[in-house]
Structure 1
Amino acid sequence: MRPFTRFPLFRKTLLGLTVAAAAMSTTQAGEVEVLHWWTSGGEAQAVGVLKDLVEAEGHSWEDFAVAGGAGDSAMTVLKSRAMSGNPPSAAQINGPEIQEWGELGLLGNLDEVAEQGDWDALLPDVVADMMRYEGNYVAVPVNVHRVNWLWANPQVLEDAGVALPTSWDELFDAGEQLREAGYVPLAHGGQPWQDATVFESLVLSYGGSDFYRQVFVDLDIEAIESDTMIEVLETFKRLRELMDEGMPGRDWNLTTSMVINGDAAMQLMGDWAKGEFSAAGMEAGVDYLCSPVPGTETDFIFNIDSFAMFRVTEPENQEAQQTLARLVLEPEFQAAFNKVKGSIPARPDLDMGEFDSCAQQSLEDFEQARDGDTLVPSMAHRMAMNSDVQGAFFDIITNYFNAASMTAEQAAERLARAASAAG
C-alpha cells in the first residue's frame, strides 16, 4: 500500500518538514533501530511519519515492527534481545514497564534534550511522570490514547432502528434489534488484551474512578471481591451474547473493519480504532460515531505510547536517539502523527482546530478528567500495574470470559488471589 495517499494536506506538511530538516541537518549520521508494534494500516502510516522525519535529518531508521495488539509479542522479542545484550536503540514501552527497564540499568538519559525542549513545562504531570526513572527522562511520549470509547456505524444503527446506546441496558436492548436486522451487535476480537480492554471499561463504568484505582492500581482485595465487581463480571460475560462466533483470535483492526464495512454495529476499543476509520476515508460524526463507554462520560482511561531509549555507545547513534526524541515532541510531528493514529497529542498546547470531532472531544474530556481527578491508567495497556500482575489478570479475565462453567464469584476470587500474591 502506498502511504499517505488519503492525506494530501499531510503529504504537503511532511514535505515541508523534510526540506526544512534536511537544510538544518549538520550532525554526523547515526542509526536508530526502533522496536514497535504499529503494523495495522493506520498505525503503519503513523509510524512512517516519524521514520521519514528522522531520515530527513540524515540519520537512518531500522524498522523493527513486531505485529500483535497491545505489544505482548513485541515485549517478548525485546526481552530476548536485551537478555542477549543486543537491545534496539529505541523501543515502544509503556507505563510501569519503563520503570522495570530502568531498574535493570539499560535505559539511556534524555535529560539534555528534555531541558532544551522544556518538557517539564510542556507535558502534563501524568504524562511526564511516566517518562522518568529516578528523576531522569528515559523515554519520550508520542501521544495520549483514550481507551473507553464506543464506536458505531450510524447506517447500521439506522437500518436496525436503534440509537447509539448510552447505558448498558440500552446496549443489550439494541443488540436484540440489531440481531433481528442481520447485524453483529458488538464486534470483538477474542484476544486476552481485547478482553481486558472491555473489562476495564466495565470496571470504570460500574465503580467509578476511585473504585477503578482500588482494583487495578492499589490491588485492593476488598474491592476486587465486592458486589460491584461481581456485577461487572456478570455484565462482562453477558456481552458475549452480542458478539459473533468468529471472534476467537481475531485481530482488533479486523474487528474494526466489521464496523467499517457494515457487518457489525459497534465496537468497544481505544481511539487507535479511529485511525482505521480515517484510513478508510470515513468522516467522524458522519460515517462513524464515537461516544464514551456508557457510564464513563466524565472519566478517561489513558494509554500513553512512548519510546524508551536504550543505552548506546557510538556518539553518532546517541545523536540519532536525541534527534528521535526531539522530533517526537515537535508540534509538526505531534499534529501529523496523531491525526493519523487516532490519538491526541502528548503536548496539550497544540491547536486542535484541524483535528476531527472525536479528537477534540477526547482532549476536552482528558482535561476535565485531569482536573476532576477521574483520569485513570489503563490496566489492559500496561499503564496501571507491573507486567507480572497484568499477565495474571489477563489469564483470569479471558478464562472467565470463555468458560461457561466459571462463575463471577470464582473469577473475583481468582483475581483477588493474584492481587494478594503481588503484594
Structure 2
Amino acid sequence: MLKLVLPALLLLVSPLAAAQDAEPVPFELYHWWGSAGERDAVDALQRYVEQLGVRWAESGRVQQSNLIGYRQTLAQRIEQGDGPDAAVVLSTDVRQLMNSNALLLLDDVAAANDWDEVVPTAVQRLSRVEGHWVSIPINIHSTNWIWLNAALAHQLDLPVLDTWDDLIVALEKARQAGLVPLAIGDEAGQHMLLFEAVSAGVGGAEFYRRVFLQLKPTEPDLELLKVVFARMRELSDYAQTAGLGLRWNEATAMVRTGKALAQLQGSWAIAEFNHFGLVEGQDYHCQRFPDTQGMVLFNSDQIVVFRNQRTSDSVRAAFATALMSPEVQRELNITKGAAPARVDAVADGFSGCGRKAIHDVRMGNMRGTLLESIAMSGASPMSVSHAFYPVVSSHFRGEISDQQALKALETVWVNQ
C-alpha cells in the first residue's frame, strides 16, 4: 500500500436518477487501490453496490504514483471545482479536508446506523472532527505483522517468533541457508512500518503513545529510542533486497514465491496471498511482530463524501450506509485482508490471520492498545509524519548514525 496506483474512477449511477434524467449523474469514488489484491477488494465492493440497485461503471487512467502524488491530485481537483463525489483518504487528510469545508457531514447517517456504538473508539478519533462524523471507516488494517513463507519456516525448523531474539535467530538461519532473510524495498514508507513495529516492541504501548501519538518523549524514552535505532541497524543487515527498489507488493511476492523468508508489512498483504490462491497456515504464516503481542498498530482507510450538487442526499446517504453495513464490511475485508471497522464483526469466512485480527482489535479497543500507525500518517500531523520519514529511511540505508537519527527526531519534536 506504499507504492500506489493512481487512481481509477468508480462511477456509481443511481437508478432513480437514471429514470429522472436523460443523462444519469455519476457518483464518482476516487481511490488508490491498484495491486492485484486491492483490485479484488474493489470488485467485492462493486458486487454489493450493484445488489443495492446502483449501477456501477469504472473508468479512468491508471499510472504509477505514490501517496503524496495521490493527495496532490485530489487537492488540485477540489481546488479546481472538479472534485469527486467521494474519495479514499488517510486519516490525517480528513481533518485537513474538513477545515477546508469540503466535506459532507455524516452525523444523520451515523446516528441512524449506530456508528457510535459499533466503531472502535480509536477509529472514531480518525473519523470524527469536533464531534461530527465526517468520514466512513471501511476497515482496520494492522501494521505490526510479520509474514513468513511456511515452507521455508518449516525447512529452517522455526518456532513462533515471540521475542526479538527469536526473530534474529530466524533471520540468521535464513542467511546461513542462502535465503533472503527479510524482504523489504527502498521506500521510506516500508522502513517506517518496520520502525514503528520495532519501537512498539522495545518500549510497549505507553511508550509508543507518548512518543508518537502525544509527541512528548521523556528522557527515559530517548534512551529506549537508542535501542530502537540499534535494532533497526541490525535488521538492515538482513535486508538484502533494500536497494532493489521493490514496491511493497513485490516484497510480498518474494515471500509468496519462496525467494525470501519474511516480510514486515500491513495486513493488506493478505489480499495478495488471497489473490494468488495461497492458504494461511499451509503456504504462509502471520505472526505479531515480536514483543508487540497485545498491541494493534493500525491504519483505517477512510472514505469521505464531498459537498456538491451533482448527486442527491439520498444517493450519498445510501452509499455511506452501504459501506458501513456488516455485510459489506465483512466481504470487503475478507478480500482486502483487514478487520472490519466494527466491534460486532462476525469472524466467519475470515482466514486464521483475519480472525486473529478481529480478536486483537476487540481486545485492543477494550485495553486501550489500539494505536494509530505513524507509518500510515494516522498518529500525528502530516508535517510530523513527513519529517520522520527521511530520518528513519536515511538511517536504515546507513546514511546517518544512530545518534544522528535520534538528534534529528528530537528536532522534529521540538519544532512540532
User: TM-score, normalising length from structure 2?
Assistant: 0.89
SS of 2:357's partner is helix
The alignment status of 1:304 with 2:325, answered yes or no, reads no
Q: Distance in 1 between matches of 2:156 and 2:143?
A: 27
Amino acid at match of 1:311: R
Alignment match of 2:384 (pick from 359, 370, 389): 389
Q: 2:204 corresponds to which residue?
A: 208
Q: 2:355 corresponds to which residue?
A: 360
Alignment match of 1:93 (pick from 89, 94, 100): 89
Q: 1:256 corresponds to which residue?
A: 252
Kindly indicate whether the alpha-carbon contact (under 8 Å) linking 2:135 and 2:302 is maintained by their aligned counterparts in 1. yes
Amino acid at match of 1:374: T
Query: What displacement does 1:203 show?
Result: 0.8
The alignment status of 1:341 with 2:336, answered yes or no, reads yes
Kindly indicate whether the alpha-carbon contact (under 8 Å) linking 1:150 and 1:268 is maintained by their aligned counterparts in 2. yes
Query: What displacement does 1:233 show?
Result: 0.7
Q: Distance in 2 between matches of 1:370 and 1:335?
A: 19
Kindly indicate whether the alpha-carbon contact (under 8 Å) linking 1:67 and 1:74 is maintained by their aligned counterparts in 2. no
Query: What displacement does 1:262 show?
Result: 0.4
Q: Distance in 2 between matches of 1:236 and 1:419?
A: 20
Q: Distance in 2 between matches of 1:70 and 1:265?
A: 27
Q: 2:73 corresponds to which residue?
A: 77
1:167-178 equivalence runs, <5 A = 167-178=163-174
The alignment status of 1:222 with 2:218, answered yes or no, reads yes
Q: Please, which runs of 5 or more residues in structure 1 have no aligned partner?
A: 1-21
Kindly indicate whether the alpha-carbon contact (under 8 Å) linking 2:127 and 2:135 is maintained by their aligned counterparts in 1. yes
Q: 1:408 corresponds to which residue?
A: 402
Query: What displacement does 1:69 show?
Result: 8.7
Q: 1:192 corresponds to which residue?
A: 188
Kindly indicate whether the alpha-carbon contact (under 8 Å) linking 1:131 and 1:141 is maintained by their aligned counterparts in 2. yes
Amino acid at match of 2:403: E
Q: Please, which runs of 5 or more residues in structure 2 have no aligned partner?
A: 1-12, 19-23
Q: 2:278 corresponds to which residue?
A: 282
Please give the per-residue CA displacement for 1:4-27, whole angstroms capped at 9, x wherever unaligned.
xxxxxxxxxxxxxxxxxx9x9656
1:16-165 equivalence runs, <5 A = 26=16, 30-56=25-51, 57-62=53-58, 71-165=67-161
Q: Distance in 2 between matches of 1:167 and 1:214?
A: 23
Please give the per-residue CA displacement for 1:213-264, whole angstroms capped at 9, x wherever unaligned.
1111121243597110011011112111111246442111111010110000
Query: What displacement does 1:105 show?
Result: 0.7
Q: 1:380 corresponds to which residue?
A: 375
Q: Distance in 2 between matches of 1:315 and 1:245?
A: 48
Query: What displacement does 1:400 show?
Result: 1.5
Q: Distance in 1 between matches of 2:219 and 2:374?
A: 16
The alignment status of 1:327 with 2:322, answered yes or no, reads yes
Kindly indicate whether the alpha-carbon contact (under 8 Å) linking 2:267 and 2:338 is maintained by their aligned counterparts in 1. yes
Q: Distance in 1 between matches of 2:219 and 2:49?
A: 47
Query: What displacement does 1:158 show?
Result: 2.0
Q: 2:3 corresponds to which residue?
A: none
Q: Given the superposition, is the C-alpha separation of residues 340 and 68 from structure 1 closer, same or farther in structure 2, using an over 3 Å criterion? A: farther
Query: What displacement does 1:146 show?
Result: 1.0
Q: Given the superposition, is the C-alpha separation of residues 66 and 222 from structure 1 closer, same or farther in structure 2, using an over 3 Å criterion? A: farther
Moved over 6 A (4+): 65-70
Query: What displacement does 1:303 show?
Result: 0.9
SS of 1:226's partner is helix
Q: 1:421 corresponds to which residue?
A: 415
Q: Distance in 2 between matches of 1:203 and 1:189?
A: 20
Q: Given the superposition, is the C-alpha separation of residues 131 and 143 from structure 1 closer, same or farther in structure 2, using an over 3 Å criterion? A: same
SS of 2:172's partner is helix
Kindly indicate whether the alpha-carbon contact (under 8 Å) linking 1:66 and 1:73 is maintained by their aligned counterparts in 2. no
User: TM-score, normalising length from structure 1?
Assistant: 0.88
Q: Distance in 2 between matches of 1:249 and 1:106?
A: 36
Amino acid at match of 1:172: I
Q: Distance in 2 between matches of 1:314 and 1:200?
A: 42
Q: Given the superposition, is the C-alpha separation of residues 67 and 202 from structure 1 closer, same or farther in structure 2, using an over 3 Å criterion? A: farther
SS of 1:340's partner is helix
Query: What displacement does 1:79 show?
Result: 2.0
Q: Given the superposition, is the C-alpha separation of residues 246 and 214 from structure 1 closer, same or farther in structure 2, using an over 3 Å criterion? A: closer
SS of 2:261's partner is strand
Report the count of equivalent residues: 399
Query: What displacement does 1:136 show?
Result: 2.1
Q: Distance in 2 between matches of 1:328 and 1:30?
A: 20
Query: What displacement does 1:145 show?
Result: 1.0
Q: 1:9 corresponds to which residue?
A: none
Q: Given the superposition, is the C-alpha separation of residues 291 and 283 from structure 1 closer, same or farther in structure 2, using an over 3 Å criterion? A: same
Q: Distance in 2 between matches of 1:69 and 1:179?
A: 33
Query: What displacement does 1:134 show?
Result: 2.5
Q: Distance in 2 between matches of 1:295 and 1:389?
A: 26
Amino acid at match of 2:407: E
- Percent sequence identity is 30
Q: Distance in 2 between matches of 1:192 and 1:69?
A: 14
Q: CA RMSD in A?
A: 2.4
